[in-house]
Amino acid sequence: MLIAYDSAGSVGWTSGTNSAYPEGPPEDLVPMLTGRRDVQVLRLHDVEDAALVADTMTHHVTVGADGRVVVGQPLEVPPPEQAPDPVTRAEFDMLLTMVLEG
């Protein structure tokens, strides 16, 4: 995982996990991916730093002056939308009859 952050330690972008690049994409891609050239980067290994990578993906994070990830509050996840009521067997049979008779 690559973490791009500004001079104040505010994280602007993370690469997520990727088996091809477990420590994030190559350095020359960072400006294109973040849309900025004035960022610093911190790399975490997806496997070796798995707990910290998981925290980074589920919490608000910053990067401290010492260059370490500071884990904050958990990210709020909106509740899932309610699924529509399933079609009853009788409704399904009626629709099937209408389609077949057509």
Q: Per-residue confidence at 95, pLDDT binned at 50, 70, 90?
A: confident
Q: Does residue 50 belong to any structural domain of this protein? A: yes
Across 41-50, 54-63, 83-92, least confident range: 83-92
Across 10-19, 24-33, 87-96, least confident range: 87-96
Q: Does residue 55 belong to any structural domain of this protein? A: yes
Q: Does residue 30 belong to any structural domain of this protein? A: yes
Helix (H, G, I), strand (E, B) or coil at 12: strand
**C-alpha to C-alpha distance for 26 and 20, rounded to whole angstroms:** 11
Q: Does residue 11 belong to any structural domain of this protein? A: yes
What pTM does this model have? 0.70
Q: Per-residue confidence at 101, pLDDT binned at 50, 70, 90?
A: confident
Q: Does residue 63 belong to any structural domain of this protein? A: yes
Total domains present in the chain: 1
**Structure tokens, 67:** 């260059």
Query: Within 13 Å of residue 30, how many CA atoms lie on the same side as its CB?
Result: 21
